[in-house]
Amino acid sequence: MLWLAVALGGALGAIGRYGVSVALAPQHIKFPVATLTVNILGSLMMGIFYVLIVEKAMLSQEWRHVIMIGFLGAFTTFSTFSIETLHLFQAGHWQTAVIYLGLSLMLCVLAVYLGITITDSLL
């Protein structure tokens, strides 16, 4: 049953990821805004659900499989982030690649921290 929970969450996460990609489809900008956005949102949600499921047990452990493993695993896109960064470097866009790398790491770690801190303070 847990396999189905992960699969359901993953399907919903993939749909969510695709929706963000369509909504933030790059026009003429060479910066991967959609991937950065889903990784920040996914990190924020990871922090929130970490508190709700792991720390406070306000949701059952089964929800960890649906949300944290399935949904957020499919919603966030580290592999896409990696290939986009590599392509920026290969295309000679070193400055953009370094900015993207730095923003992704700093903002996603900050988002997890904020998710945990805000959720803890509200509970």
pLDDT (average), residues 89-118:
96
- pTM recorded for the entire structure: 0.82
**CB burial string 84-111: b at 16+ within 10 A, e below:** bbeebeeeebeebbeebeeebeebbeeb
pLDDT of amino acid 78: 86
Instruction: Answer for the pair 17, 80: CB distance below 8 angstroms, yes or no.
Output: no
Distance between first and last Cα of the chain: 30
Helices marked H in 1-123: 2-23, 33-49, 61-63, 72-75, 78-90, 94-122
Which of the residue ranges 26-40, 44-58, 72-86 would you say has the lowest mean pLDDT?
A: 26-40
In the structure, what pLDDT confidence band is assigned to residue 11 with cuts at 50, 70 and 90? very high
Q: What is the pLDDT of residue 25?
A: 80
